[in-house]
Amino acid sequence: MSIIGGLFGSTDSSVAYVIGGLVILALSISAWAVAAQRCRDFGWTGWATLIILIPVIGFFFSLALLFIPGDVGSNRYGPDQLGSPAA
């Protein structure tokens, strides 16, 4: 019996696969939305997240989205959410 099936009291593994698939789908959609928002922090379009699908380059692009800070000040997608540094 799988963990997901056990949570819902089902011994049928197909129920666990469906529930697990729905969870993975929901997490994937939210991850792409967050990645698109991070691209907008750089001043790029959200479509730049498709770079993640390129095998080796996508790994380094994902790291860049995690660690490189966004633009300081406002860009074409709106004001700086963290605020401008004190002058």
pTM, entire model: 0.65
Joined together, the tokens standing for residue 21 give: 């698939």
Question: Would you mind telling me the total number of residues written for the chain in this entry?
Answer: 87
Quickly state the pLDDT bin for 8 (edges 50, 70, 90): low
Quickly state the pLDDT bin for 60 (edges 50, 70, 90): very high
List alpha helices for the chain, DSSP H. Answer: 3-7, 13-41, 55-67
Residue 71: is its pLDDT beyond 50? yes
With respect to residue 77, please indicate whether it lies within any of the assigned structural domains.
no
Helix (H) or strand (E) holding 46: none
With respect to residue 41, please indicate whether it lies within any of the assigned structural domains.
yes
Query: How many structural domains are present in the chain?
Result: 1
Distance CA 62, CA 55 (A): 11
Instruction: Show the CA angle centred on residue 54, arms to residues 51 and 55, nearest 5°.
Output: 140
Distance CA 82, CA 46 (A): 20
Which residues constitute the domain of residue 53? 3-67
